[in-house]
Amino acid sequence: MANEGKYLNLKPHVTSWSIYNVNGPYVTSSRIGTLAPAQFGGLSYQILEDKGGYVYIIQTESFGRVAIWAGDSDSSITGNPTYGAGSYTGSSSDGTYLNLSPAVDSWSVYNVNGPYVTTSRIGALAPAQYGGLSYAILGNPTTDVYIIQTESFGRVAIWAGDSDSSITENPTYGTGSYTGGSSDGTYLNLSPAVDSWSIYNVNGPYVTTSRIGALAPSQFGGLSYRILESKGNSVYVIQTESFGKVAIWAGDSDSTFTSYPTYGNTSTAPSPGGILSGINFDDAPVSIQTRATWRANPVQPAGMDGNLSTIKYIVIHHTAGAQPQVGTDYEVMRGIQNYHQSLGWGDIGYHFCIGQQGTVMEGRSLPQVGAHVGKPHNFDSIGVSLFGDFSYVKPGDTQLKKLVPLLKYLCERYNISPDNILGHRDMDSNYGATACPGNYFYNATNQLQEIRNAVQEQLRLKDSLSLSEKKQQLLEKMRTYFQGIPFFQDVPFNLTMWEQEGSFPISGNITMKVKLSFGTESNSPIANLINVNITEPQIKLEGPYFDLVREQKVDDIEFYNAKEAMEQLAEKLKGHGNVALSMGVSGDKILFNYVVNFNSMTLSDGSILASSCRITLEIDNNTFMTPDSYPVKVPNEEVALNIRAMDPQLAVGLATATAFLLIVAVMGTGGAGAAALSV
């Protein structure tokens, strides 16, 4: 289309811009990552294809060839790039190149406009990993500070004023922003059908036992690289950012040679999976060092946000700190807490941290809300951070060996699916674009899928009980909570209730239904009228509103008091579950629904599971009666309308009192007669 060959410019005030697979779908739920124009002062990309509907194909090194929607005023299309970019690189302003010595492990980069101090760095380059790096100098704003173009960070500033750097007319090393010309003007294309393609040192030997890493064509829909040199015998030299200049054998039908790249060109990830290879998790039990052990500062209450409402996710981070870390694990932990508290966060933002010496440390104590991803997910997630910057290197085996067992423990303890182990970058982009937990780590684990798989496998190995055995043990443990509370003595708990809802009449017009389930229920499907956690303090029912509800005395039995029963149960569950009451309408019936959640119960094989018991009372139409001397039956539809019309807090009280009194009447009859309640 008309826009192909032009440049797409993303304006610098936009913090996050979603990108998608080339072939779609182009919807938020299917995005594969985000770009960060604001971080780099705007971004420009050459349009490789115009898909129509304001969807364009661009080339990025971090994600390869991707699709992007750009149909509003935050973007523009021009004949020349407006900003710096990942796929467009300007020429050197004065024809010189900055060369970073391979003796340096980590070299800080800064925003173009500074400040150029360590505390303000935005990332780090890794010359040692790539055998040195060279960049075209685009500007020189002050003494020994240069502007260069990088794919991973965009246009940045770098200080280079010592003997570890040099400035030459030609690049000394391979780089992200300088790419040598093809030896014969051709590109090597690796088929997307291949999962893993070995690479070697430039000078060999080119044998499997000597490979230094692997590329992952299938992960990125194929890969294309400019050929820098031909070594003969189908061995070629290419430039990758993750491994620097390397050799690759390409002598079969899975590779092709063209004058233009067939696929995207990315080198930020070795093959998916593999970084956990050789790590034995069986001899890595979880040992978490307490706050007292690393001498944590006291919590600053003003900066805290209360307790977690629920726990759905585990979010993995990297601290993006010095790589390798400087100091002991405890020293780094205290430094992070000091920094986070200086921001007014009240405490260290993460719940757990793993240092490079292999120490697992308790951070912000659970169940306190963390400060690691932003709202709303601070309120439903646990934050786990690894010390270090994994933009260009992977975490060490010492850290990885502790990460998987910790995640397994958290999944068991809080009933979290391994599928809900995510990276910071996976959370909603509204909370700010981020590459956390680092491009290399994220891509090397196939977007953390290798981590999730390893946790799942560890859970499976421990999971020796059959499904029926689990159900039996869970039911027995539930009964221990119910025992001694008279209200529950007539509830016929049995194993069939795991499969289907048990249903039986307890009076002529009321039916009890009981269902057992794995997991806990946070939102009741029955609560279309009222939903209240009855373990919280209830509003008082004295005054005129109490007159709205009247118990029909039956056998004068006060023994079955549901409110007291639920309070007793809640006390037994303290710290291990909760009880919730909801009220709703289904057809012409009114429903009172009690959900008893058991957050965690340890079974004989050591596995920890959550479960719930739902007890529902279905009240037939015309069960409720007016409080007059000559009571009149009230249709359930009118009862529901009255409740909906009340002030929400009073409605809670009404529902609570109604449910409690209803059960007193029903259970007191021994199954005979109707329950008459007044509204």
Reported confidence tier of residue 157, pLDDT bands at 50, 70, 90: confident
b/e per residue, 583-602, with b = 16+ CB within 10 A?
bbbeeebbbbbbbbbbbbbe
> How far apart are alpha carbons 570 and 259 in whole angstroms?
72
- Tokens 């009855």, residue located: 534
Q: Hey, what amino acid is at 670?
A: G
Counting residues of the chain whose pLDDT is more than 70, the rounded percentage is 73
The answer to whether 206 and 250 have CB atoms below 8 angstroms apart is no
State mean pLDDT over 549-567. 44
Q: Looking at the predicted structure, is the pLDDT value of residue 182 above 70?
A: no
Q: Give the residue extent of every domain in the chain.
A: 7-78, 97-168, 187-258, 288-462, 467-678
List 617's β-bridge partners, or say none.
512, 592
Tokens coding 644? 């909906």
> Which CATH number describes the domain made up of 187-258?
2.30.30
Range in 141-145, 287-291, 303-307, 574-578 with the lowest mean pLDDT: 574-578
The answer to whether 197 and 225 have CB atoms below 8 angstroms apart is no
Q: Looking at the predicted structure, is the pLDDT value of residue 167 above 90?
A: no
Q: Looking at the predicted structure, is the pLDDT value of residue 606 above 90?
A: no
Q: Write out pLDDT tens, residues 451-506.
A: 988 888 887 766 667 778 888 999 999 998 888 887 777 778 889 898 788 888 76
CATH C-level class of 7-78: mainly beta
Q: Determine the Cα angle at 605 with ends 599 and 610, to 5°.
A: 15
CA–CA distances in Å: residue 502 to residues 101, 236, 514: 73, 69, 5
Same fold, 7-78 and 187-258: yes
**Hey, how many other C-beta atoms are within 10 angstroms of the C-beta on 649?**
10
Q: What does the DSSP 8-state code read for residue 536?
A: S
Report the CATH architecture of 288-462. 3-Layer(aba) Sandwich (3.40)
State mean pLDDT over 8-23. 81
What is the reported pLDDT for 282? Answer: 67
Q: Looking at the predicted structure, is the pLDDT value of residue 516 above 80?
A: yes
E-strand ranges in 160-300 read 165-168, 187-190, 197-199, 213-215, 223-226, 229-232, 235-240, 244-249, 255-258, 288-289
**Hey, how many other C-beta atoms are within 10 angstroms of the C-beta on 479?**
12
The answer to whether 446 and 219 have CB atoms below 8 angstroms apart is yes
Exposed/middle/buried for residue 207 (C-beta within 10 Å: 0-12, 13-18, 19+): exposed
State mean pLDDT over 532-559. 32
CATH C-level class of 97-168: mainly beta
Q: Looking at the predicted structure, is the pLDDT value of residue 363 above 50?
A: yes
> How far apart are alpha carbons 321 and 571 in whole angstroms?
45
Q: Which residue has the higher pLDDT, 93 or 122?
A: 122
Q: Write out pLDDT tens, residues 488-501.
A: 777 788 898 987 88
DSSP string, 574-605: TTTEEEEEEEEEETTEEEEEEEEEEEEEE-TT
